[in-house]
Chains A and B, each alone.
Chain A
C-alpha cells in the first residue's frame, strides 16, 4: 500500500539543504533545491553508505560528504562515471506542504501520520 505522508513545510528545509525523515525502513533525506524543488532519497550513498542529507547540494544533485560521489536527486543514480543508485522517493508539494510517498507503509507505528492527513492527498 502506498501512502502520501505530510512530512513538513518548504520553510522547514533551507534552500540547498536537506532534513531527515526517520522511518522504520531507515532515514530518508528530503532536499530543497535552489529553485524550490523537493527531492527525497534513502539517506545512504551507494558507495559506502554516507549520509547524503549531510552533503553539499547544488542544482538537483548532492555530493556525498564522505567521498564526494555525486548523486542525481531526480533519479537517485550516481552521476557517471560512478555507478550505483540509492532508493528514490516521490515527493509532492501542495501549498508549501511537503508530501512523501512511502511504499508498503503499513501505518502500524504509533507515531504514524493521522489517516485523514494521508488520505487528503492519496
Chain B
C-alpha cells in the first residue's frame, strides 16, 4: 500500500512541493491537499497586475482543479484544517473531516499584519493577500473614490499603483520618512516617491495612523497629528506574519515561524514545513524564490532521495509597478567597514549604488536602470572577487567587452514582436505569453518552454530582464548552487573534486558514487563526465564514445542535412602546392559540393556523407594530413600572420611560433573549443586579441593574451604577461591550457571562465607561481603523450567501422 501524504496549504510553496514530488517519485504517495481558498493553485505574485488590470484571474491560475484530478490528488478546496493529532497522525478539518497521514507538509503561508487601531476590523479594511482581497478592491474601486494604503513597502506601493490604475484617488501612509526602507536607501526612495507622485499617488510620510472611522463601512482614516483623510477603502500592507497557529496548537515547535531544519523538517520528523510559515536559521521569507528552493528540498526528501539541503536564501527585490525599474539586494546600507560605489543622474532618474567590502559586493540598490541587477546579484551570491572589474563594475556587464546585443538590453522598452533570441527566433511576446500562461518562474523554465537563450546564450540577460519585468520581485533566480544537470544535485566543481579524491575512473562509478537520479545520465551530464575523466586520468581512461556528441564521435562536423564537413589540419595556416593539390583531388573524387576557406585559415570540405568519411580520411592521411579537430571541444586552429619572415613590420617569426604552438597543443581535449593566434607585430593581423590564447610579438619578446572571444559575445583578451623567448611562450601556453582543462566547467569557454575566477587568479597560477607553472605545463605535456593520436588515420584503418556503416540495407 502506498504511503499517505497530506499537504495543508495549497499556495505556491505547497503546490510546488507536489510538482517536484510528482517529477521525482510519481507513485510513492496517495496525496490529499487541504486549501483554505476555493480555487486550484494560483500565482499569488501576479495579483498586483490583476489589480492594475494588466492581467485577469484566469491568467494567473497555475494548476486548475483538473490538474489535481489528473494526478490523482484529492483536493479539498475551501476546507480549513484546524487540528493535527500527531499521536494518531491525523489532520482534522473545521467540519470534523479527518484524514490520516504518514507524512505531513505544512504550507500555511502568512497573514497580513493588521494595525491594532480602533476600526481596524471595519468592512472595507483589508489586506492585500489573496484573490478575495483583490475582488474586494476591484468592487470598492467602482463604488468609492478614495483609497488609503497604510504601509509604503513593496506590497503597499503595488496596491497603491493598482488602485490608482483603477481610477481611485490613492493616499499612501507610511510611518517612516523613507519608502521601502527595507529595500531602498534614502536617495533611491526619494526618486521613487517623485516618480509615483508624478503618477498621481499622494504620500503622507512620518505619519502614524490613530483610528479608522466609519459606521458600517470605512469612511475616514485619522492620524495621531490630528489630520484625517476620506477613505472608501483601506488596504493594510504593513507586513506579513507567518501563519503558525495550526502548528503551534498541535505542539509543533514554533518561534516566529514553524522552525525547520535544513531538510525542511519540523521538530516532528514526520511533519515538513515550507513557505512563508517557516523559520529557518532564524530567518523568515516572503518572496517566492526562496520558497521554491525549500519546496525542491522538501520534495527531494519526501521522494526518499534525501540528499538535498536547504541552506537559506539570499533574496533580491524588485517592484512590480509598470515603468518603474528598481532593484535591491543584500546589505545596501553598508556599514563602517564597507565602501560605496555610486552613480547618480537624477534628471535621467538613474541611481546605482553598490556596497563593497573586501572586494566583494555585499549589497546593491539600482533605480531607473536595473539591467545589471541579476549580474550584481550573481556576483554577490557567489562572492566573486571584483578587483579585476572594479573600474567598469558600475557601468554593467556590457562594459566588460560584450557587445553582443548592443543597446537592445532594456526588456521593458522592447515591443512584443521584437526578436529576443536570434538563434531560435523567439520574440518578446512569445516569452511573456509563456511566462504567464505556463506559470514559469526561472530562466531554465523559459529555456525549456520557448528555447529562448538556450542556444548561444547571448540573450540570457535580456530573457532574465523579461522574466523580471513580468514577475517583479518574485523572479526566481537560478539557485546559487547550480547542479551540473537534472540528474544530480552536485555542481561541476564538486563532481570534478570527487572524481579525483575518490579515484573514480569510469562514468558508471561516478554515477553510482554520487547517487545519480537516472540510470545512465543524459545528454548534458554524460559528455561532461566523459571530459572530466579524460582530463583526470590521461592515458588510463577509456574514452566513452557513446557519451560524446556526434561530431566528436565521428571526428567531423554534422551539417543541417546530416552530411559532414571535413577540415584537415594545416599547421599554422601554412600549406604547400602539393597539399593543396591533394585536397583538390579528394574534393573531386568524392564530389564535395562546397570547398570553403574558414575563418581560422583552414580549408573546409562540406557535404561529405557519413559512409564516405573513412575513405576521405584514408586519402587525406596518405597525403600527410591529420584531423583538424574543427568539430571538437579541443584545440581548433592557430592562426598566424607572415611575421618577420616576409612582413616589413614583423618583429618576430610569428608563423614558426604558431606552428610550434599548434604542434604542441593539437589533440588535447578541453572544456570547450580553444582558438589561438600569433601576430608578428602589434598591428595584430592574426587578430590574436580575440582568441582564447593570443600571442603578439613585440621587439623585446612576446605578449601573451588570454580569454578573448570573437563569437556571440565579443571579448577582447586580457594581458597575461610578457615573455622573452619562444620556449617561454610554449611553457606559459601549456600551463594556461592545463589550468583551463583542470578547472573550467565543461562547455565554459576561457572568456567566461576567466570572468568567473578572475584574471588575478589565473596570473597567480600561471605567472607568479613558477613551480606551479612548471608542474601545470608538465601535466599538459604528459597528457599529450597519449592524446596526440590522429583519430582519422585510426578510423581509416578500420577503428569503429560499425559507426560508419548501415546495420542493414533493405532498400
Contact = CB atoms under 8 A, between A and B. Distances in A.
A43 B186 CA distance: 63
A1 interface: no
A15 B562 CA distance: 22
A34 B520 contact: yes
Given A58-B522, A70-B523, 4 more contacts: A16-B547, A19-B807, A20-B806, A65-B558
B562 A58 contact: no
Interface in B784-811: 802, 806-811
Interface of A: 5, 7-8, 12-17, 19-24, 27, 30, 34-35, 48-51, 54-59, 63, 65-68, 70, 81, 109, 111-113
14 contacts: A7-B810, A16-B520, A19-B806, A20-B807, A21-B808, A22-B810, A54-B550, A56-B527, A58-B520, A58-B526, A66-B560, A67-B455, A112-B810, A113-B810
Given A34-B519, A58-B520, A50 B562 contact: yes
A32 B678 CA distance: 46
A59 B519 CA distance: 7
B547 A56 contact: yes
Contact of A59 (B518, B527, B553): B518
B802 A12 contact: yes
B560 A54 contact: no
B622 interface: no
A12 B523 contact: no
Given A34-B520, A65-B550, A81-B448, A8 B810 contact: no
Given A22-B809, A24-B811, A55 B520 contact: no
Interface in B427-449: 438, 448-449
Interface in B402-442: 438
Contacts of B547: 16, 56
B208 to A, nearest CB: 51
B549 interface: yes
Nearest to B519: A34
Contact of B562 (A13, A51, A68, A113): A51
Contacts of B503: none
Interface string B512-550: 000000111111001100000000000000000111111
A109 to B, nearest CB: 6
A21 B806 contact: yes
A24 B811 CA distance: 4
A99 to B, nearest CB: 11
Say which size band chain B's interface belongs to.
20 to 34
A51 to B, nearest CB: 4
B550 A55 contact: yes
A22 B806 contact: yes
A114 to B, nearest CB: 11
A54 B22 CA distance: 31
B523 A63 contact: yes
A49 B559 CA distance: 11
B555 to A, nearest CB: 13
A11 to B, nearest CB: 10
A25 to B, nearest CB: 9
Given A16-B546, A21-B808, A24-B811, A54 B519 contact: no
Contact of A68 (B523, B548, B802, B811): B523
B807 A8 contact: yes
Contacts of A56: 523, 526-527, 546-550
B802 A54 contact: no
B810 A35 contact: no
Contacts of B448: 81
Contacts of A68: 454, 523
B551 to A, nearest CB: 8
A46 B752 CA distance: 34
A12 B802 CA distance: 8
